Amino acid sequence: MFSWLVGPEAQGKDSLVFETVADGLRSLYSKRLLPLEDYYQFHHFHSPALEQADFENKPMVLLIGQYSTGKTTFIRYLLEQDFPGMRIGPEPTTDSFIAVMHGAEEGIIPGNALVVDPKKPFRKLNSFGNAFLNRFMCAQLPNKVLDSITVIDTPGILSGEKQRMSRGYDFSEVLRWFAERVDRIILLFDAHKLDISDEFSEAIKALRGQDDKIRVVLNKADQVDTQQLMRVYGALMWSLGKVIDTPEVVRVYIGSFWSKPLQITENRKLFEMETEDLFKDIKDLPRNAALRKLNDLIKRARLAKVHAYIISYLKKEMPAMFGKDLKKKEMISRLPEIYLILQQEHNISAGDFPNVKKMQAFIKLSVTTGQLPWLWNLLVLMWKHVVNV
């Protein structure tokens, strides 16, 4: 299994490369990019400032699936041992987000304590409130697999009447937050339960933009014979095609990911090969984590640059609009036109710009309702600075 697929020598080299690159990225961010973000209020529009834990955290694997598809059992199979807070059963047993991480001793850290720990990469989850934090925890244990990765177990996605019950927090937004930060997203399906409920469909839509991270596991495949398995696979691909909006075919791993003997053994060789391929994919995450962090920082820098151009353009328009509500509304309505002007003036790709509707809504809230007056104050201060200079 995974614990013996990764040799200690390879682990050491990957960790050294990861730490070296992480240190360099953190230094580059704090010296060059963070001052730009602070000056142009980037954090209020887009995402909070990066912290040390965001650079040093281990690669994360996010597991998503309907209840009783074997998510918790999959983690146990991966770790080759139980973990604190683990519950397995046919009913929805996991009602919390559980971050399974390495620790010197076994134990559980509740959500409210977890989000104030600067060494953990979860501090920004505090914005989802107590309703979520009461359903979030960290399970720590000494485990060789967890030396390289962190696994995020999610609540079983409901179906039927149960999915109409409110969880008390925005489940899809929490999934989106994790999806943006993890290195691999695994969707688990049961060979006997391929229907995609409305809540599951919304969850998958929350993953849009992270298509390259998604892998699919068809679990409990040993409970059907070869002919049925072919039909199940076809039905699964048809169902996924309706909710995953990507031209590429999603990689599907077929197997039975638990330690019990296979019920139907005729596909044993196939399951062993698929298991080896999946674990190899997970094994390579630490090696590729440094490259992903570099890629994410470059994406952030491009967005910050575009954001600075937008705010600077608004600053130049300040003399004509200061104190005039009509001009403020005109500025908001002209944002798509401003995007085009900036694209041509600075030779920027349209794909680098933030969503225009979200930007319009935020600026409108900021400068017209007075709920967030800091933006208009920022523009005034910037204009006064220019005049004084």
Return the HEC string of the chain: CHHHHCCHHHHHHHHHHHHHHHHHHHHHHHHHHHHHHHHCCHHHHCCCCCCHHHHHCCCEEEEEEECCCCHHHHHHHHHCCCCCCCCCCCCCCCCCEEEEEECCCCEEEEHHHHCCCCCCCCHHHHHHHHHHHCCEEEEEECCCHHHCCEEEECCCECCHHHHHCCCCCCHHHHHHHHHHHCCEEEEEEECCECCCCHHHHHHHHCCCCCHHHEEEEEECHHHCCHHHHHHHHHHHHHHHHHHCCCCCCCCEEECCCCCCCCCCCCCHHHHHHHHHHHHHHHHCHHHHHHHHHHHHHHHHHHHHHHHHHHHHHHHHCHHHHCCCHHHHHHHHHCHHHHHHHHHHHHCCCHHHCCCHHHHHHHHHHHHCCCCCCHHHHHHHHHHHHHHHC
Q: What is the pLDDT of residue 366?
A: 62
Average pLDDT by stretches of 10, the chain with 389 residues: 52 60 85 90 84 87 89 91 76 76 92 92 91 94 92 83 67 92 92 82 87 92 93 89 76 91 92 94 86 87 91 69 59 84 90 84 63 49 45
253 with 148, same domain: the answer is yes
Domain residue limits at 299: 1-56+290-389
188 with 322, same domain: the answer is no
Q: What is the pLDDT of residue 194?
A: 79
Whether the CB-CB separation of 252 and 236 falls below 8 Å is answered with yes
Q: What is the pLDDT of residue 14?
A: 58
228 with 248, same domain: the answer is yes
140 with 253, same domain: the answer is yes
Q: What is the pLDDT of residue 218?
A: 94
Measure the CA–CA gap between 137 and 134, rounded to whole angstroms: 8
Q: What is the pLDDT of residue 382?
A: 47
114 with 222, same domain: the answer is yes
206 with 300, same domain: the answer is no
10 with 67, same domain: the answer is no
Q: What is the pLDDT of residue 313?
A: 84
CA geometry: angle 280, 284, 286, nearest 5 deg: 140
64 with 199, same domain: the answer is yes
350: CATH: 1.10.268.20
Measure the CA–CA gap between 117 and 222, rounded to whole angstroms: 42
Whether the CB-CB separation of 329 and 368 falls below 8 Å is answered with yes
131: CATH: 3.40.50.300
78 with 153, same domain: the answer is yes
Q: What is the pLDDT of residue 62?
A: 96
Q: What is the pLDDT of residue 322?
A: 47
Measure the CA–CA gap between 225 and 223, rounded to whole angstroms: 7
Q: What is the pLDDT of residue 320?
A: 46
Q: Which of 261, 283, 305 is the last residue of a domain?
A: 283
Please give the model's pTM, rounded to 2 decimal places: 0.79
232 with 117, same domain: the answer is yes
120 with 209, same domain: the answer is yes
Q: Which of 220, 255, 283 is the last residue of a domain?
A: 283
CA geometry: angle 170, 60, 35, nearest 5 deg: 80
Q: What is the pLDDT of residue 383?
A: 46
Domain count, the chain: 2
Q: Which of 258, 283, 308 is the last residue of a domain?
A: 283
Tokens of 33: 């990019």
130 with 262, same domain: the answer is yes
